[in-house]
Amino acid sequence: MKKTFEKTILVTGGAGFIGSNFLLRMVPRYPSYHFVNIDALTYAGILANLKELEGAPNYAFRHIDIVESQAVRALFEEYPITHVVHFAAESHVDRSIHDPLAFVRTNVLGTVNLLQNAQRAWSNDYEGKRFFHVSTDEVYGSLKPEDAAFGEQHRYEPHSPYSASKASADHFVRAYHDTYGLPILISNCSNNYGPYQFPEKLIPLCINNIVHQRPLPIYGDGTQVRDWLFVADHVDAIDTILHKGREGETYNVGGCNEVQNIELVRQLISIVDQKLGHPEGHSLGLITYVTDRPGHDTRYAIDATKIHEELGWQPAYSPEEGFEETVEWYLAHQEWLDYVTSGDYQNYYDEMYGERLR
C-alpha cells in the first residue's frame, strides 16, 4: 500500500550548499513529509552530499532543470505537491559578472516557470499550499557604515547581475501573490557559511588554502562588511517560516554577526593555525590583496527583528561557535574538499543512476 504523506515538499536546488543542509536536517526531522528534490546538477550541485538520504522512504530525487517547463509540469502531475521551497539559483557574484545571461535564465526564468506551474497545478485551490522563495540580502544593495541595517521595507538597489536577477525573482514572486493570489513566502538572508559549501566561496576557500599554504586572495582593502549566518541556523529559520510565517510576508534572516572580510580571514587563520599546531600568526603572510570586484558592495547588515518578534526565531550559534564548527568540519573532511576541487563529484550521478548528465 502506497504511503500517504502529510505534506509533499518540492525542494529546488537541493544538491547545492543551503539546499543540501536543509534536506539533511529536514528529511529525518519530518518523516511524515515527502521531500522531492530537483536539481540541474550544474557545477555547484553535489549530489553526493545527500548520499545518506538515498533509500529514505520520504525522499526522492529528480534530475530536472527549473527552466524546463514540461519537466516541472510533469512533476506537479506526478506528486501531490503542497509546498515549494525554492533554493535553486546561480549565486556567485564573480560568475554573474562574466556571464549575466546564465543568471537571468536560472534565477528569473526558472523562478517564473516554477511560479507558473505551481499556480496552474494548484488551480486557485490554495488551501494548505505555500511557495517559499529563498532570496538574499544583496537585493537591497550596499550600506554605509553609519546606515541602519536592512529591514524588510528597505528599497531594492542591486549592484551586480546576480543581485539584480534575485531582485527580479523576488518581484515576480510577489506579483504572483498580488495577481493570482498564490500563497507565497520570501526570506532574504545574509551570507551563509558552514559544511558542504562549494570551495570557491570565501570561507571554505580560505580554510583549504591555509591547509595547503596557498595565497588567501582579498578583494581591495578587505574592509567590506558582511553579516555571517551559520547554515544550520538558516535551515531552522526556513523551517520556522515554512510552518509559522504569514502568507505574503517577507522575513529577513541574519546572523547578527557583522565582520569585515579581512577580519574574518584573520579569524580563520587563527582557528586553522591553532588546530593544525602552527605557531600563532603562521599563515598571516598568505593574505594577498587583489584588484577589487567591479561594483563591490561596501556593507550588508540584516535587521532580523521581524522574525525574532513575530516567529520567535533566534540564531542558536554564536559567531565563535559557528566559525569553529565550520573549520573543524572542513579539516575533518579534507577528502570531501579534494573530491570537489578535483571535479570527481560530477561523475556521481552517472555512477549512481547509470545515466549521463544532460
Please name which of 21, 66, 28, 27 lies closest in space to residue 46, comparing C-alpha atoms: 21
Q: Which cell goes with 51?
A: 548520499
* DSSP-assigned beta bridge partners for residue 61: 37
- What is the helix (H) or strand (E) element at residue 193, kind and residue range? strand 191-193
Whole-number Å distance between alpha carbons of 125 and 168: 26
Q: Name the catalytic one among 65, 137, 170, 236.
A: 137
Q: Cell numbers 525542494 correspond to what residue?
A: 11
Whole-number Å distance between alpha carbons of 357 and 333: 26
Taking a C-beta distance cutoff of 8 angstroms, is the pair 97, 89 a contact? Answer: no
Q: Distance between alpha carbon 128 and the CA centroid of its chain, in Å?
A: 25
Q: Which cell goes with 78?
A: 506526478
Coil, strand, or helix at residue 297? Answer: coil
Catalytic site residue 162? yes
- What is the helix (H) or strand (E) element at residue 268, kind and residue range? helix 261-276
Please name which of 227, 201, 189 lies closest in space to residue 94, comparing C-alpha atoms: 201
Name residue 244's amino acid: K
Name residue 155's amino acid: R
Give whole-number Cα distances, 168 to 91, 96, 174, 240, in Å. 14, 14, 10, 25
Q: Which cell goes with 32?
A: 511524515
Q: Which residues contact 13 (CB under 8 A, 6 or more apart)?
A: 19, 38, 39, 45, 66, 86, 87, 88, 89
Whole-number Å distance between alpha carbons of 268 and 326: 10
Q: Name the catalytic one among 59, 140, 162, 330.
A: 162
Q: Name the catalytic one among 138, 152, 170, 233.
A: 138
* DSSP-assigned beta bridge partners for residue 187: 134, 251
Coil, strand, or helix at residue 81? Answer: coil
Active site residue ranges: 137-138, 162
